[in-house]
């Protein structure tokens, strides 16, 4: 195994991460739905209620991880769907760039929103 | 009267062997035999007439296309009504249609026993081998088309070169790291190992699987289930050795290798040799992940 | 084949929604105080169309989750021989759970 290079080049990492994030997302997305529609009713939403939930550190951390993993899982999913449809060469590189930027922007803005919802900062 | 003389003679002969006249019992038996023979002949005549009268037929709609013939530059479907007999396959029907109705009908076939892989076609909306598909199992009219997702050369013949290219690219041959020391020493394989690769060896290169895969249709560089299965057969063969397995995995781990498989399962469903293609691809993904995680 | 198609379709819907979701929340969390937030969101919840869209989103998410669980089992090479049955099961459960959730989603909308 001395000549073992980083697995990044082999394409297996993204595949594995897609599965790992999937497992996490099953739990946290179900939790999000139950929390916001069944435990609390969406029609009764108030900023104070949201702020109370988001100010709890564990809840906030869970929501932030939700954001990051969902962004990765979704954007990687879109990337794979496009490759399966034949995206190749320069187009592929361009799209990959756009997707990475979109993902970073999503996480960045989502973090700002999450912080605005809490009183942690 | 010459006859009388003869009858005198025969009568004289008969007189010496038996009674001069047949007994009533003999007469009745003779009559009975004659009646039976007549009835048998009558029954046979009737059966033959019946067979010709309500001979069963089946309608086959066949895709026609020939860029070199003016009439067939635009693809169309030709209707053939062929006589049906029990146990008839789609290939039988096509051969009859070609031999009797239209000798320009073109399709590949060879062994007609599901081992050569020549006659994979799109029959009633599904990839099947024409020689292995019983007409009695199909809804009529039977619709026969060339394999989808490949260029059509003429009628039911598709360009298989891309399929063969993908197969060749995985080095589908036994290639051990080192040969045994002795000149006549065998390279042994355990029964368990053989069992692992047994199903993979059944591939007849028919192309049905690749034609059924939506990812192979969209992504031209995807190796395809058949190629990955062939690679599986040799990668999982313990006789080849670790170095060769690494090389094989390297080919398979490329972006358009095993990772393109989205477990659609269509390949497994249409394989005429019942090879669990998706399962083999999944096992190779696990092999790849396991070998990559071992960063020590 | 349909499992793959539906998983892709629901996937696109969900990632599209995620972008819309963050964009909407960005708008309503801007500025001081929570009035914009509360009023906008409660206003949206007052629209019957939004309630129906929520049920739709729920169904989409449920299918993607359930079929995703099925795919995870497939990736662990478990249950490969019954993969078509597990697909029908995930469709069935999606329908059942969605129907069961309708009262909750539409509660108080009329």
The boundaries of every CATH 1.10.1060.10 domain in chain B are 161-179+188-293
pLDDT of residue C109: 73
* pLDDT above 80: residue B47: no
Neighbours, chain C (3 or more CB pairs < 8 A): A, B
Inter-chain CB proximity B279 and C77 less than 8 Å: yes
Smallest CA-to-CA distance from B75 within B146, B123, B162 is with B146
Q: Which among B264, B279, B285 is the nearest to C1, CB-wise?
A: B264
Which tens digit of pLDDT belongs to each residue from A96-112?
999 999 999 999 999 99
B22 vs A61, residue with greater confidence: A61
pLDDT at A40 over 70: yes
In this complex, the residue of A12, A16, A85 whose CB is nearest that of residue B218 is A85
Backbone angles phi, psi at B272, to 5 degrees: -70, -10
User: What is the pLDDT, as a whole number, of residue B51?
Assistant: 58
Q: Is A1 on the interface with B (CB under 8 A)?
A: yes
User: Shortest CA distance to C6 belongs to which of C44, C63, C52?
Assistant: C63
Q: Note the pLDDT tens digit of each residue in B148-178.
A: 999 999 999 999 999 999 999 999 999 998 8
Mean per-residue pLDDT of chain A: 89
CATH topology classification for A7-117: 3 helical TM bundles of succinate and fumarate reductases (1.20.1300)
Please tell me the predicted confidence (pLDDT) of residue B115: 96
pLDDT for position A108 = 96
Does the beta-carbon distance from A22 to C33 stay under 8 Å?
no
Q: Cα–Cα–Cα angle for C6, C24, C13, nearest 5°?
A: 5
* Strand pairing category for B57-64 and B120-123: unpaired
Q: According to the model, what pLDDT value does residue C107 have? A: 83
- Asked if B213 and B165 count as a contact pair (C-beta separation under 8 A), the reply is no
Query: Which one has a higher pLDDT value, C12 or B13?
Result: C12
Q: Residues B122-134: pLDDT tens digits?
A: 999 999 999 999 9
Round to whole Å and give the CA distance between B267 and A56: 49
Q: What is the mean pLDDT of chain C?
A: 93
**Order of all β-strands in the sheet with B76-83:** B76-83, B57-64, B142-145, B120-123, B126-129
Q: In chain C, what are the domain boundaries?
A: 2-106
Q: Is A20 helix (H, G, I), strand (E, B) or coil?
A: helix
**Nearest-CA distance B253 → chain A (Å):** 6
Integer Cα distance of B90 and B84 in angstroms: 10
Number of residues written out for chain C: 110
Using CB atoms and an 8 Å cut-off, which of residues 101-120 of chain B contact chain A?
Answer: none
> Is C19 in contact with A106 (Cβ distance < 8 A)?
yes
pLDDT digits (tens, 9 = 90+) for C33-86: 789 999 999 999 999 999 999 999 999 999 999 999 999 999 999 999 999 999
pLDDT at position A12, please? Answer: 84
The answer to whether the CB atoms of B264 and C71 lie below 8 A apart is no
Spatial distance between the Cα atoms of C13 and C16, rounded to a whole number of angstroms:
5
**Residues B119-151 as b or e (16 or more Cβ within 10 Å = b):** bbbbbbeebbbbbbbebeebeeebbbbbbebbe
Query: Taking CA atoms, what residue in A is nearest to B251?
Result: A10
CB contact under 8 A, B296 and A11: no
| Whole-number average pLDDT of chain B | 89
Name chain B's partners: 3 or more CB pairs within 8 A. A, C
Q: What is the pLDDT of residues B5-23, one digit of tens each?
A: 444 444 444 444 455 677 8
Q: Kindly state the tokens that stand for A69.
A: 């993993």
- Nearest by CB to A1, which of B214, B288, B294? B294
Residue A65 has pLDDT above 60, yes or no: yes
Fold (topology level) of B57-158: Ubiquitin-like (UB roll) (3.10.20)
User: What pLDDT is stored for residue C100 in this prediction?
Assistant: 94
Is the pLDDT at A11 greater than 80? The verdict is no
Model pTM?
0.83
Q: Give the relative orientation of helices A89-117 and A47-54 as an angle to the nearest 10 degrees.
A: 100
| Residues ≥6 apart with Cβ < 8 Å to B202 | B273, B274, B275
More confidently predicted of C7 and B45: C7
If you measure CA to CA, which chain B residue comes closest to A88? B219
Nearest-angstrom CA–CA distance, A72 and C51: 28
Dump the DSSP string for A24-66.
HHHHHHHHHHIIIIIIS-GGG--HHHHHHHHTSHHHHHHHHHH
Rounded to whole angstroms, how far apart are CA atoms B59 and B143? 9
d(C-alpha C15, C-alpha B228), whole Å: 31
C83 interface with B at CB cutoff 8 Å = yes
Report CB contact under 8 Å: A11, B294: no
Q: Which residue of B has its CA nearest to C1?
A: B264
In this prediction, residue A110 carries a pLDDT of 96
* 3-state secondary structure at position C29: coil
Burial class (CB in 10 A: 0-12, 13-18, 19+), B12: exposed
pLDDT in tens, B237-295: 999 989 999 999 999 999 899 999 999 999 999 999 999 999 999 999 999 998 888 76
Amino acid B11: pLDDT: 47
Query: How large is the average pLDDT for residues B103-123?
Result: 96
Query: Most C CBs within 10 Å: which of B199, B209, B260, B265, as the mutation test of the C interface?
Result: B265
Q: Which of B219, B262, B294 sits opposite A86 (nearest CB)?
A: B219
Selected for mutation to probe chain A from C8, C15, C100 (highest A CB count within 10 Å) is C15
Domain C2-106 has what CATH class? Answer: mainly alpha
pLDDT confidence of residue B13: 46
Q: Is the pLDDT of residue B224 over 60?
A: yes
| Interface test mutation site (partner B, options C77, C79, C87, max chain B beta carbons within 10 A) | C77
DSSP structural state of residue B146: P
Residue A2 has what pLDDT?
38
What separation in angstroms does the CA of A20 have from each of A72, B119, B285, B289, C86? 11, 43, 15, 13, 21
**What residues of chain A lie within 8 A of the CB of C8, using their CB?**
81
Cα distance between residue A68 and residue B182, in whole Å: 59
Q: For domain B161-179+188-293, say whether CATH 1.10.1060.10 is its number.
A: yes
**B279 vs C71: CB contact, 8 Å cut-off?**
no
Tokens of B274: 């019942």
pLDDT computed for residue C44 by the predictor? 92
Say if the Cβ atoms of C45 and A37 lie within 8 Å: no
Nearest to B292 among A7, A84, A86 (CB): A7
Tokens 């019957």 correspond to: C48
Distance from CA of C11 to the nearest CA of B (A): 14
Give yes or no for a cis peptide into B141 (omega within 30° of 0).
yes
User: Is some CB atom of chain B closer than 8 A to the CB atom of A55?
Assistant: no
Q: Is B266 on the interface with C (CB under 8 A)?
A: yes
Which pLDDT score, from 0 to 100, does residue B295 have? 63
At residue B15, the pLDDT reads 47
Cβ contact, residue pair C54, A37, below 8 Å: yes
The better pLDDT of the pair A10, C7 is held by: C7
Angle between helix A57-84 and helix C2-28 axes, rounded to 10 deg: 130
Nearest CA in chain A to C64: A26
* Residues of each domain in chain B carrying CATH 3.10.20.30: 57-158
- Residue C33 confidence (pLDDT): 77
Q: Which of residues 73-92 of C touch A (CB under 8 A)?
A: 75
B283 touches chain A (CB under 8 A): no
CA of A65 vs chain B CAs: smallest distance (Å) = 24
């Amino acid at each position: 195994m001395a000549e073992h290079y980083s697995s990044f080049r082999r394409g297996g990492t993204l595949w594995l991460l897609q599965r790992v994030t999937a497992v996490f997302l099953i739990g946290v997305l179900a939790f999000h739905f139950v929390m916001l529609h069944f435990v609390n009713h969406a029609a009764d939403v108030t900023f104070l209620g949201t702020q109370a939930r988001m100010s709890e550190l564990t809840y906030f951390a869970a929501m932030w991880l939700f954001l990051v993993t969902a962004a990765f899982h979704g954007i990687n999913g879109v990337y794979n769907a496009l490759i399966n449809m034949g995206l190749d060469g320069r187009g592929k590189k361009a799209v990959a760039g756009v997707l990475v930027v979109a993902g970073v922007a999503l996480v960045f803005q989502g973090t700002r929103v999450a912080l605005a919802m809490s009183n942690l900062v | 009267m010459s006859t009388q003389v003869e009858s005198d003679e025969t009568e004289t002969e008969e007189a010496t062997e038996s009674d001069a006249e047949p007994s009533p019992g003999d007469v009745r038996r003779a009559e009975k035999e004659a009646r039976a023979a007549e009835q048998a002949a009558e029954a046979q005549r009737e059966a033959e007439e019946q067979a010709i009268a309500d001979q069963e037929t089946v309608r086959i709609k066949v895709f026609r296309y020939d860029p070199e013939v003016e009439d067939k530059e635009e693809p169309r479907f030709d209707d053939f009504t062929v006589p049906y007999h029990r146990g008839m396959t789609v290939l039988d029907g096509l051969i009859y249609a070609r031999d009797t109705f239209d000798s320009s009908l073109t399709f590949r076939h060879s062994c007609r026993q599901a081992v050569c892989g020549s006659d994979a076609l799109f029959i009633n909306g599904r990839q099947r081998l024409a020689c292995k598909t019983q007409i009695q199992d199909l809804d009529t009219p039977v619709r026969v088309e060339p394999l989808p997702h490949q260029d059509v050369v003429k009628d039911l013949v598709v360009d298989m070169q891309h399929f063969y290219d993908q197969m060749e690219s995985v080095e589908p041959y036994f290639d051990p790291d080192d040969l045994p020391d002795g000149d006549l020493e065998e390279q042994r394989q355990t029964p368990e190992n053989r069992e692992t690769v047994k199903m993979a060896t059944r591939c007849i290169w028919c192309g049905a699987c690749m034609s059924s895969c939506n990812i192979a249709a969209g992504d031209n560089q995807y190796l395809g289930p058949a190629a990955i299965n062939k690679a599986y057969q040799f990668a999982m063969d313990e006789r080849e050795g670790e170095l060769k397995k690494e090389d094989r995995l390297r080919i398979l781990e490329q972006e358009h290798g095993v990772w393109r498989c989205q477990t659609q399962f269509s390949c497994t469903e249409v394989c005429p040799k019942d090879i669990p293609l998706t399962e083999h691809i999944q096992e190779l993904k696990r092999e790849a992940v396991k070998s990559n995680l071992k960063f020590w | 084949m349909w499992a793959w198609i539906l998983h892709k379709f629901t996937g696109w819907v969900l990632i599209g929604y995620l972008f819309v979701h963050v964009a909407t929340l960005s708008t309503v969390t801007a500025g001081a105080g929570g009035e914009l937030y509360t009023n906008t969101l409660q206003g949206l919840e007052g629209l019957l169309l939004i309630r129906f869209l929520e049920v739709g989103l729920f169904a989409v998410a449920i299918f993607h989750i359930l079929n995703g669980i099925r795919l995870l089992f497939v990736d662990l090479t478990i249950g490969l021989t019954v993969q078509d049955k597990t697909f029908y099961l995930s469709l069935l459960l999606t329908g059942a759970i969605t129907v069961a959730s309708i009262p909750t989603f539409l509660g108080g909308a009329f």
